[in-house]
Amino acid sequence: MAHRRELCSVFAAIGILGGEVATPGPVNAQNIVALDADDIGGVVTGPNGPEAGVWVIAETSDLPTRFARMVVTDDQGRYVVPDLPKATYRVWVRGYGLVDSPKMTGEPGRLLDLQAVPAPSDKEAAQYYPAIYWYSMLKIPEATQFGGTSDIPETITQIDWLKQVKNIGCIGCHQLGQHSTRTIPKQLGEFSSSEEAWIRRVSSGQSGESMVNQLAGRFGGAPIRYYADWTDRIARGELPHAKPKRPEGVERNIVVTTWEWLNEKKYLHDLISSDRRHPTVNAYGPLFGSAEYSTDIIPILDPKTHTVTEFVAPVRDPDTPEALGPGHAASDKVLAPSPYWGEEKIWDTKANNHNGMFDRQGRVWFAAAVRGPNNPDFCNKGSEHPSAKLFPLERTNRSITRLDPQTMQYTFADTCFGTHHLQFGYDANDTLWTSGGGPVVGWINTRLFDETGDAAKAQGWTALILDTNGNGQRDEYVEPDQPLDPTKDKRIAGGFYAVSPSPVDGSIWGSVGVFSGTPAVVRLDPGPNPPQTALVEIYHVPRPGFGIRGADIDRQGVVWASLSSGHLAGFDRRRCKGPLNGPQATGDHCPEGWSFHQYPGPGFQGIGENSAESSYYTWVDQHNTFGLGEDVPMSTANLMDGLVALKDGRMISLRVPYPLGFYAKGFDGRIDDPNAGWKGRGLWTTSGDRTPWLREGGKGSRPIAVHFQLRPDPLAK
């Protein structure tokens, strides 16, 4: 069989495999492409010869869900789309400087040469640029406009403004700059000005209340004028001030595969594929999505069979209210009709499943609601619970749940603390650490929970206490709004947004100050009895960095984070020169621990060197699940349609070229087979934009799951 397969490869390469060969190209030593029986390959040429560094997209609807695989041509214009399921495919070329080529019909095992189509104009070429090239056209107010000299509220600084338009405001839930956001939809109606149109736009749907509050509240509506100017200039024909380069180097070796899942009215926040500590867990297994505010459905994708099934996450208490409305980031009502869904209320969740994590047994743990917001008695003041005695908690919106894929049993773990992101520690108890607890960091001893089923006994939480008296132990403390006392410690406000247990020393790191306060990373040392002994250290983000969102840690203990300043930042505590506790160790004591690496893409004009990239989250590939090596930090590149990795000082773009508008909020990696080379490794992510209908394809588009793989060369099979 192996010999026969090899012969088929050669026959396909020279175009004499039985049956008709679609649009055969000339055969010579420079363009022969060897194929297996499950590959489509050929040569892409344009008017001036081979087209290097362009994408070839093969898509089919013949499988149980829509499927597409994408590759990049080599320097001779050759391509191989490998390992395709048996189906009939629509195959076309997309690339910078081009418009999409006609869609040809292809089947695995057949040679298919393609003709690239040059863009007739810069305007038509720019329609295929990543969103960042359009979004960087947004004007940023000059420094003189701040401080009460304009319609911008006096308390707002230019840094505040940049954080809002970079990764905190609307752009924290949507990609801005793709076609649907850089234009005004006609369905909104007729308006006397673009500012009026933008006010109406941000009022739309179940996020309308949140969007209006952000722009019209603290910012006094001032950003509306700048967004209106942006879309007006684009409507008049203004084009991006920079052009993207085609993929280079290892970027040409990336294979991108997509599957549709869930439905056209819902969105996904995240997915999970494996245990980040043991990435062979769930090898070749199903992926589990988290739909946050949109639905109680957990979509499950089997990438082997290309099938999608659904599990509806229950809540424990039947009187649990919807996780929408006051206290949430989405409303239970439509503020103004959506140009896509009118007055229909399309989000309707109680479970509010935000984020999932596999454990080493192959079970999936979720940050999801169990009940209503009022905590049980064991959480409150007067309880004998060790954590409640020190810091009682009255309300929470999310707890923890667990799904066993083998039995589909769904288990509730009622927590007093709120949850947002989850990560397993490296200890013998498989402690599950959480963010989202506000003034506390919470955890569950999952070994104890497995043994007893007692969530109250298995959980704990702690306030964030700085050792400002410098004696190395936790003492009585002053509150965040009180001055330092040389005899006491100090509690800091603001909880973890990201959470990352260190594989080095058992400490727990988190990003803080995401939406308010000073952006920083915090190190929590649990000590022998965390509720009583946990102490933290805090390290503020220095210039040129500002703003922070998602963060992760490598196996050397270096923390990596997405910044509003357009940087991937690293913090290495080992580089600190001064004391790490005491009255001077309150955040600004280790600027030397930070490094900054600018994301790719153009920046906003008039504010110096910068990238306009809006990165939502950072994840570290500790185990070389992708193929660039161990401990490679990677971020969501939310305006570049994919991810970005930092390798040997160079930023490498992992772009989803189709459909335009891909926006991720999280990702992870899995090793399906450590002995299978590149085919046994890959990254998994899903579209996380709250409005899937804003991307290419428009209304009716469904979220997609994405697999990134790295071949040794562009023609590897």
Please state whether beta strands 78-81 and 40-46 pair in parallel, antiparallel, or not at all (unpaired): antiparallel
pLDDT at 19 over 50: no
**Backbone torsions φ then ψ of 104, nearest 5 degrees:** -95, 155
Residue 6, pLDDT score: 36
693 compared with 167, residue with greater pLDDT: 693
Stretch 563-583: mean pLDDT, rounded?
97
Q: Which helix (H) or strand (E) holds 78?
A: strand 78-81
Stretch 674-679: mean pLDDT, rounded?
97
* pLDDT range class, residue 273, cuts 50, 70, 90: very high
Stretch 662-688: mean pLDDT, rounded?
97
End-to-end CA distance of the chain: 17
pLDDT at 5 over 90: no
Calculate the average pLDDT of the chain.
94
pLDDT at 13 over 70: no
Q: What is the spatial distance between Cα 334 and Cα 142, in angstroms, rounded to a whole number?
A: 36
**Longest CA span, the chain:** 86
pLDDT at 22 over 50: no
On the CB side of 173, CA atoms within 13 Å amount to: 17
Which residues are CB-neighbours of 443 under 8 A, at least 6 positions away? 425, 431, 432, 433, 434, 459, 460, 461, 530
Which residues are CB-neighbours of 439 under 8 A, at least 6 positions away? 391, 463, 464, 491, 493, 494, 495
User: What is the 8-class DSSP label of residue 26?
Assistant: P
Q: Which helix (H) or strand (E) holds 559?
A: strand 559-562
pLDDT at 18 over 60: no
Q: What is the spatial distance between Cα 210 and Cα 270, in angstroms, rounded to a whole number?
A: 21
Sheet holding 422-424, edge to edge: 422-424, 431-434, 440-445, 459-463
Q: What is the spatial distance between Cα 107 and Cα 84, in angstroms, rounded to a whole number?
A: 9
Indicate whether this model's pTM tops 0.85: yes
Stretch 132-145: mean pLDDT, rounded?
97
Alpha-carbon dihedral angle through residues 339, 342, 345, 346, given to the nearest 10 degrees: -50
Stretch 610-625: mean pLDDT, rounded?
97
pLDDT at 634 over 80: yes
Q: What is the spatial distance between Cα 626 and Cα 571, in angstroms, rounded to a whole number?
A: 23
Q: Write the pLDDT tens digit of every residue in 86-103.
A: 999 999 999 999 999 999
Residue 327, pLDDT score: 83
Q: What is the spatial distance between Cα 301 and Cα 283, in angstroms, rounded to a whole number?
A: 13
Residue 74, pLDDT score: 98
Residue 32, pLDDT score: 83
* pLDDT range class, residue 326, cuts 50, 70, 90: confident
pLDDT at 563 over 90: yes
Residue 10, pLDDT score: 37
pLDDT at 7 over 80: no
Stretch 555-570: mean pLDDT, rounded?
98
Lookup: tokens for 428:
């013998």
Lookup: tokens for 215:
């722009």
E strands, 464-550, in order? 465-466, 477-478, 489-491, 499-501, 508-512, 520-525, 535-540
* pLDDT range class, residue 31, cuts 50, 70, 90: low
CA R_g for the chain: 26
Q: Write the pLDDT tens digit of every residue in 106-121.
A: 999 999 999 999 999 9
Lookup: tokens for 249:
């180097």
Q: Write the pLDDT tens digit of every residue in 431-487.
A: 999 999 999 999 999 999 999 999 999 999 999 999 999 999 999 999 999 999 999
pLDDT at 8 over 80: no
Residue the block writes with tokens 């070229």: 657
Q: What is the spatial distance between Cα 39 and Cα 43, in angstroms, rounded to a whole number?
A: 14
Q: Answer yes or no: are the C-beta atoms of 320 and 265 closer than 8 Å.
A: no
Q: Answer yes or no: are the C-beta atoms of 208 and 336 closer than 8 Å.
A: yes
* pLDDT range class, residue 167, cuts 50, 70, 90: confident
Domains of the chain: 40-128 (2.60.40.1120), 133-236 (no CATH), 464-598 (no CATH)
| Closest of 664, 544, 520, 638 to residue 597, by C-alpha | 544
Q: Could you tell me which residues are beta bridge partners of residue 69?
A: 58, 257
Q: What is the spatial distance between Cα 408 and Cα 572, in angstroms, rounded to a whole number?
A: 41
Residue 62, pLDDT score: 98
| DSSP string of 344-398, one letter each residue | ------SS----EEE-TTS-EEEEE--S-SBPPGGGSTT---HHHHHS---B-S-
Which residues are CB-neighbours of 280 under 8 A, at least 6 positions away? 274, 670, 671, 672, 674
Distance of CA 531 to the CA centre of its chain: 32
Q: What is the spatial distance between Cα 81 and Cα 104, in angstroms, rounded to a whole number?
A: 14
Stretch 517-537: mean pLDDT, rounded?
97
Q: Which helix (H) or strand (E) holds 70?
A: strand 67-72
Q: Answer yes or no: are the C-beta atoms of 632 and 626 closer than 8 Å.
A: yes
Q: What is the spatial distance between Cα 419 and Cα 364, in angstroms, rounded to a whole number?
A: 15
Q: Answer yes or no: are the C-beta atoms of 92 and 69 closer than 8 Å.
A: no
Q: What is the spatial distance between Cα 451 and Cα 666, in angstroms, rounded to a whole number?
A: 31
Q: What is the spatial distance between Cα 71 and Cα 58, in angstroms, rounded to a whole number?
A: 9
For 237, counting Cβ atoms within 10 Å of its Cβ (0-12 exposed, 13-18 middle, 19+ buried), the class is: exposed
Q: Which helix (H) or strand (E) holds 651?
A: strand 650-655
Residue 29, pLDDT score: 36
Q: Which amino acid is at 598?
A: Q
